């Protein structure tokens, strides 16, 4: 329960930053489109610094086993998520956009600062497995789901800056290449901004969504319920059946990190892809906005149930 309380405090802090971004747009000091430079900074500077720094740990059997376990767990969880949402899509009549926002969570910008705050920066390395698998699926399964074309965009996958950062980090980790303290110190200073920067962007984008879109659509709340409550509870049952604490040291914490990613709000990448593939971008933005607002209450609750 202590972890759930700490999570609630941290998410509330991030939510207040999101409201600051919302307020600065509503007060006409900035426009929602001014969030674009922050997005570029977050994607191409802050996120790579955090990921590469996460791999600057000593190579030990425990760390390598934990990293492999996080990758394997991420693959299993995404397979379960895809199958579960596919089954739900029939009785609930979920369209392709609703399926995508139900499956894919904001596992990067939101989870990394939470993992850092709850467990420490040395645990961020185990969040990279979930991120890597999700990025691969964004440009394969999610692309097919949204545009209906069975194309696997290897170029989009390999050229993604987060994938490049994970590959660079893995190389440094495997060959135990330690960056100078001046570089890692700089990376750490930049990495602190990942959470605040992401939530400022979320708030600024949220300010551009008509309130009618946010609060009048029953479908948005249906998807929010699936993404934040029903699906995490289903995954919780499966994860409780996995005796990770008997398989490897600190297996419980690694599973908790993956579970945090499952409980997070809808991925902002799905909204971007909805724009790219000419789907209902307003609806995607509405789901992203509502789930980001509601996760302040749902994530601590689900984690408390997980611990209980």
DSSP line for 79-99:
HHHHHHHHHHHHHHT--HHHH
Domains of the chain: 33-194+211-307 (1.20.1530)
DSSP line for 132-157:
HHHHHHIIIIIHHHHH------HHHH
Other beta carbons within 10 angstroms of residue 181's beta carbon come to 9
Residues near 202 by Cβ (< 8 Å), separated by ≥ 6? Answer: 18, 21, 268, 288, 289, 292
The low-confidence residues of the chain, meaning pLDDT below 70, are 1, 149-153, 213-216, 245
DSSP bridge partners of 266: 105
What's the pLDDT score for residue 273? 80
What's the pLDDT score for residue 213? 66
> Which pTM was predicted?
0.88
Alpha-carbon gap, residue 178 to 181, rounded angstroms? 9
What's the pLDDT score for residue 97? 92
What's the pLDDT score for residue 150? 59
3-state secondary structure of 105: strand
What's the pLDDT score for residue 149? 65
Number of separate helices (H) and strands (E) present in the chain: 19, 0
What's the pLDDT score for residue 6? 87
What's the pLDDT score for residue 202? 85
Predicted confidence (pLDDT) per residue in 98-120, tens digit: 999 999 998 877 888 889 888 98
Question: How many residues are recorded in the chain?
Answer: 308
Tokens at 69, concatenated = 């376990």
Q: Is 217 left (phi over 0), alpha (psi -120 to 50) or beta?
A: beta
Q: Residue 169 in contact with residue 55, Cβ under 8 Å?
A: yes
3-state secondary structure of 38: helix
3-state secondary structure of 266: strand
């Amino acid at each position: 329960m202590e972890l759930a309380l700490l999570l609630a405090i941290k998410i509330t802090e991030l939510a207040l930053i999101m409201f600051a971004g919302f307020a600065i747009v509503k007060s006409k000091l900035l426009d929602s489109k001014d969030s674009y430079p922050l997005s570029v900074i977050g994607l191409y500077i802050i996120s790579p610094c955090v990921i590469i720094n996460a791999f600057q740990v000593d190579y030990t059997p425990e760390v390598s086993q934990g990293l492999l376990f996080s990758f394997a767990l991420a693959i299993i969880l995404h397979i379960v998520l895809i199958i579960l949402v596919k089954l739900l899509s029939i009785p609930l009549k979920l369209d392709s956009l609703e399926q995508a926002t139900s499956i894919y969570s904001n596992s990067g910008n939101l989870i990394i600062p939470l993992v850092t705050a709850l467990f420490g920066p040395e645990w961020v390395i185990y969040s990279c497995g979930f991120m890597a698998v999700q990025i691969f699926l964004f440009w394969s399964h999610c692309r097919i789901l949204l545009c209906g074309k069975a194309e696997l965009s290897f170029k989009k996958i390999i050229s993604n800056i987060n994938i490049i950062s994970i590959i660079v980090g893995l190389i440094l980790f495997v060959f135990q290449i330690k960056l100078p303290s001046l570089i890692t110190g700089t990376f750490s200073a930049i990495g602190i901004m990942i959470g605040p920067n992401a939530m400022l962007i979320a708030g600024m984008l949220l300010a551009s969504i008509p309130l009618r879109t946010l609060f009048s659509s029953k479908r948005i709340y249906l998807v929010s319920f699936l993404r934040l409550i029903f699906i995490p509870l289903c995954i919780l049952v499966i994860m409780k059946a996995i005796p990770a604490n008997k398989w490897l040291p600190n297996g419980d914490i690694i599973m908790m990190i993956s579970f945090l990613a499952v409980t997070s709000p809808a991925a902002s990448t799905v909204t971007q892809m909805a724009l790219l593939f000419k789907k209902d971008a307003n609806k995607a933005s509405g789901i992203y906005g509502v789930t980001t607002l509601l996760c302040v209450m749902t994530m601590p609750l689900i984690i408390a149930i997980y611990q209980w």
